[in-house]
């Protein structure tokens, strides 16, 4: 679940428990993390759609 107000993406299990949080990378050129929608690929990389910073990002697992 992405929460653009909190500026984070939550990983939630099927019992409704938040089991992981991604607060996003450090602000880039003053632009904060604003995940409006996101998608996950088969490698668990996360793609974000961000309205206010006019940005799409790929975030990969470290």
Partner 1 sequence: MSAHIQWLRLLILAALFIAASFFPCYSEEAIPKLNYEAVPDFFQLPAGEHFVEVAGVAVNSKGHIYVFHRGKHPLMEFDASGKFVRSIADDLFVTAHTVRVDAEDNIWTTDVGAHLVLKLSPDGRVLLSLGRMRTPGDDVLHFNQPTDVAFDREGNIYVADGEGNSRVLKFNKYGNVLLGWGMKGSGPGQFDLPHSIAVDGDLVYVGDRENARIQIFDLNGRYVREWKLGHPYGLFMTPIISSTCPMQSLAGF
Residues that bind partner 1 (CB under 8 A): 1-6, 8-14, 16, 18-23, 25, 28, 35-42, 44, 46-52, 54-62
Give the integer Cα–Cα distance in Å for 3 and 11: 11
State the virtual CA torsion across 51, 53, 58, 59 in degrees, nearest 10: -110
Cβ of residue 48: shortest distance to partner 1, in angstroms?
A: 7
Minimal distance, residue 29 CB to partner 1, in Å: 12
The closest of 38, 24, 37, 31 to 52, measured between CA atoms, is: 31
Minimum distance from residue 58 beta carbon to partner 1 (Å): 4
């Amino acid at each position: 679940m992405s929460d653009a107000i909190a500026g984070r993406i939550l990983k939630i299990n099927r019992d409704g428990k938040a089991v992981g949080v991604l607060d996003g990378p450090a602000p880039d050129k003053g632009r904060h993390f604003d995940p409006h929608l996101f998608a996950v690929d088969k490698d668990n990389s996360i793609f974000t759609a961000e309205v206010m910073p006019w940005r799409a990002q790929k975030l990969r697992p470290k």
